[in-house]
Structure 1
Amino acid sequence: MSGEAEFRRIAADIRRRIGAGEWAAGQVLPSRASMSRGYHVHEQTVRLAYDLLRRSGVLDGEKGRHVTVAHPPAMRTLTDMDADWPYSSETTDTRSQAATEELAGRLNVPVGVSLHHEAIECLEPGGRSAILISSWWRGRRRPHASATAELGAISLTEVQAHALGLLVDSLAYRVVRTRLDAHGAPVETADLILPLDRWTIRLR
């Protein structure tokens, strides 16, 4: 069996053992050395299995340290696309960007014009990332009177997947939110990326 197939097989078996109740949420798993002896493989193979399970949200813990069984992510319901996030958040990028054709259409500005940009990672109370928000606007940031939203799905990029602790190409909700002034003109647009395993969307 190839090395890649071997660590994926081990990851699947660890997932099965967790599901069977051998290890409970929050419990520390055996060390890589101990698991490698149990599975009769190199320690590196177990490390790869642990890394895969960590990225997919089954395990918690830093690389090179003890890993624990992750608590299931909280399922939240998003009802107001324009509401402020009630918990902590981190601004991860504020570099300006040139308007792509899509952004130009959303903001009614020329293609290539310089836009202000802000990327924010919204965190759950336990510290896990819940939403990634990228916003764009031209000139001074102005207040808005209303907002529109379009809901779709995307495959996560490497950067998005890393931030959310998921696998690349995992599916996520994508909410395109555009804020409008009192005359209905767009003043800001944003992409909200929400993991499917942590959210339901309620339209009203």
Structure 2
Amino acid sequence: MAGAPYQRLAAHLRQLIETGEWPPGYRIPSHAQLQQQHGVGRGVVEYAVQQLRREGLIEGVRRGRPYVAYPPAVRTLVSPDVDWPAHRDAKHVESRPLAGGDLALRLGVAPGTRLSCLAVEMVDGSGVTVGLCTTWRRGRRRGHVSYRCEVSPHQATVAEAELTGLAAGAVAFLLQRVRYAADGRPVEACDLVLPADRWRLRV
């Protein structure tokens, strides 16, 4: 079989998955085991596993044994002005960052302004993280009468990949929404990262 050593190993592991010898949920052998079984170096194994992550065939968090991915359940987001979907098991992290750069512009505040920040890891019923939502506002939550939302392709960062089980650089959607009060002032900025293999947008 032609190709670099990691490509040949990736092709072999891909075949194990596609034939069902490694079914969904199967914990793949450790890097050390794969090295020993196939007589290759650690770098070859790492590149092969990264390739299969990019293809969506395996997933798992960093420092954990990867497993064969289940076919993703695909959800549809139909309105960018509803509260972003979050399962009851979503994990919340609150902080008070300082506004800077693009965030200060979006909220119409001076750089260095203290903001309330709520980060939510959206988890579905099977325990899979299906999205990452971060909301910033100044002061308490206020009502809004209008919004603006921009959608763009996004490559998952290392931190986002670790939370979602994707490979760093995997394709995701980035939705950036700003809500406005009746007087036109921004009252909330929100970023939503949705793995492209788990969501469809109809907005």
TM-score band w.r.t. shorter chain:
0.7 to 0.9
TM-score by length of structure 1 reads 0.78
Q: Is the 2:59–2:166 contact (alpha carbons within 8 Å) kept by the matching residues of 1?
A: no
**Using a 3 Å threshold, how does the CA distance of structure 1 residues 129 and 50 change in structure 2: closer, same or farther?**
farther
**Secondary structure of 1:97's aligned partner:** coil
Match of 2:177 in 1: 177
Matched with 1:17 is: 16
Q: Identity over aligned residues, as a percent?
A: 34
For 1:111, the aligned partner's letter is P
More displaced, 47-56 or 176-185?
Answer: 47-56
Q: Does the 8 Å CA contact 2:61/2:164 hold for their aligned counterparts?
A: no
Alignment of 1:153-192 (within 5 A): 153-192=153-192
Q: Which residue of 2 aligns with 1:138?
A: 138
Closer/same/farther in 2, CA of residues 183 and 63 from structure 1, 3 Å limit: closer
Displacement of 1:100 in angstroms is 1.7
Q: CA deviation digits over 1:75-100, x for unaligned, max 9?
A: 111112223425121113x2222222
- The aligned counterpart of 1:77 is 76
How many angstroms does 1:128 deviate by? Answer: 1.4
Match of 1:52 in 2: 50
Change in 2 beyond 3 A, CA 1:20/1:49: farther
Aligned residues: 197
Kept in 2, the 8 Å contact 1:115–1:138? The answer is yes
Cα 1:90–1:63 shift into 2, 3 Å:
closer
Give the SS at the match of 1:163: helix
- Using the alignment, how far apart are the partners of 1:183 and 1:38 within structure 2? 66
List gaps (5 residues or longer) in structure 2: none
Q: Give, in whole Å, the separation in 2 of the partners of 1:31 and 1:111.
A: 47
Do the aligned partners of 1:151 and 1:176 also contact (CA within 8 Å) in 2?
yes
- In structure 1, give the amino acid aligned to 2:171: L
The C-alpha deviation readout for 1:163-199, integer Å capped at 9, x for no partner, is 1212222221110111222444321101111111111
Question: 2:62·2:162 contact (CA, 8 Å) conserved in 1?
Answer: no
Structure 1: tracts of 5 or more residues without a match: none
- Residues in 2 aligned to 1:196 and 1:75: alpha-carbon distance in whole angstroms: 9
Q: 1:168 & 1:199 partners in 2: Cα distance? A: 18
Which whole-Å CA distance do the structure 2 matches of 1:61 and 1:164 have between them? Answer: 8
**Which letter does structure 1 place at the counterpart of 2:170?**
S
AA aligned to 1:52 is Q
Give the conservation status (yes or no) of the 8 Å contact 2:14–2:52.
no
**Structure 2 counterpart of 1:73, one-letter code:** P
- Aligned-pair RMSD on alpha carbons? 3.1
In structure 2, C-alpha distance between the alignment counterparts of 1:199 and 1:135, rounded to whole Å: 20
Q: Secondary structure at the match of 1:122?
A: strand
Looking at structure 2, the residues matched to 157 and 171 of structure 1 have their Cα atoms a distance apart, in angstroms, of: 10
- 1:195 equivalenced with 2:195 (yes/no): yes
Task: Indicate the residue corresponding to 1:108 in structure 2.
Answer: 108
Query: Which secondary structure does the structure 2 equivalent of 1:77 belong to?
Result: strand
* TM-score, normalised with respect to structure 2: 0.78
Q: 3-state SS of the aligned residue for 2:115?
A: strand
Alpha-carbon spacing, 1:156–1:12, altered in 2? closer, same or farther (3 Å): same
